[in-house]
Amino acid sequence: MRGPLLDLICCPGCLGRLRLHPFTAEEDHVMEGALACLGCGAVYLVVGGVPRLLPRSLYWDAAFADRFGTELAAVGAPPGQDHEVVPGADLKRATAAAYGFEWNTWSRFGWEPGGQFDAGPEVFRTKSLLAPNDLAGRVVVDAGCGNGRYSAAAARHAAQVIAIDLSTAVDAAFTNLRDLPGAHVVQGDLTRPPLPRDSVDRIFSIGVLMITGDARRTTEILAGRLRPDGTITAHVYARGFPLWQLDDAVVRSVTTRLPIGAVTRLATGMTRAAKALDRRGWLGYSSLVLRVWPDDAVNFDWYATPRQTYHTYPEVVGWFTDMGYEVVATNERPPPPPGRTARERLSRWVWRDAMVTVKARRPA
């Protein structure tokens, strides 16, 4: 954690200012320490260079508390865990377990230039609908950063990037981003973001809002942290072909109850099957019934996520319209022109957009 981050974050409970108490440091990073809220008195840990701005029922490091017990007592941290009631805590813990495992296992997924899942500038621009001039000199939030690959893309142009994730994926993100001077990593809950109201210029969330349990509500909460004239981009799963949607629900009703080790083995088997199908030119057709990818991380991501929802363009546009925000860009494809064959029309209906991407602006 670098010092400038202190002016960009706040207590997620009362939105009060935080005071940093450093315990150890490496170069310009505070590696271990505590953050004390000047409003409500809550104390949060800084572990491994990352501020953990979560209630203790969602994050607590007992070994850290034992090691720095004297220091924590001096800043007013109560001993042991609290018993704060967190709405949706079971879903949050399950989601954090899956994604913490995923991004610390595949910590460099998407970082390889030119790879199938490269998160380079063009991919980032397509998914975030943010061009370099949208980012220049701005404070930007990556809401659900995973291993930090999209935060790195934003940090090439932004003044400051705050990468937030609920899970210990932040450990991988910190390792990947620690040498970028404008990049900061925070462990936090998107439904209680540790950001002051009216404080950031750009928010993007790539493939995360639909796993929070309430994509619309989470979007509304995040949008409240924007400054007037700021923008937020929601990139969520699209509602798919009905047969696939049904099969996916049936399969996920089983996989989401499996232990993480079992889902990992299943993901590896799916990767082998997908590569075999791809060699025969059948991989695309298999997605009509069951989605498999030639990559372990993607298969794990899809089938381990405890809950995910699917959306349409009219639905997501409606979220922002109801909030009084102006929709300024989308990735929606135009309808097929008249005169096409029945086969082409059927193909367009079956092969719908895989994602819904909408960018909206807060009124000035």
Q: Where are the domains of the chain?
A: 3-85, 103-239+310-361, 242-304
326: three-class secondary structure by DSSP: strand
Length of the chain in residues, anyone?
Answer: 364
DSSP 8-state secondary structure symbol assigned to residue 100: H
- The token pair at 242 is 């009905």
Question: Residue 8, Cβ neighbours under 10 Å: how many?
Answer: 18
Q: Does CATH number 3.40.50.150 belong to domain 103-239+310-361?
A: yes
Output the pLDDT for position 64. 96
Nearest of 260, 345, 256 to residue 303 by alpha carbon:
256
Tens of pLDDT along 191-208?
999 999 999 999 999 999
**Dihedral pair phi/psi, residue 143, rounded to 5°:** -90, 95
pLDDT tens column, 205-236: 999 999 999 999 999 999 999 999 999 999 99
How far lies 11's CA from each of 94, 176, 228, 317, in Å? 24, 25, 22, 31
Q: Which amino acid is at 220?
A: E
* Distance (Å) of CA 231 to CA 112, 319, 348: 29, 14, 31
Note the pLDDT of residue 16. Answer: 97
pLDDT at 80: 65
> How far is residue 98's CA from residue 306's CA, in Å, rounded to a whole number?
8
Ranges of the chain with pLDDT below 50: none
Q: Model's pTM, two decimal places?
A: 0.94
At residue 225, what is the residue type? Answer: R
- Write phi, then psi, for 362 (nearest 5 degrees): -70, 140
For residue 334, the model assigns a pLDDT of 79
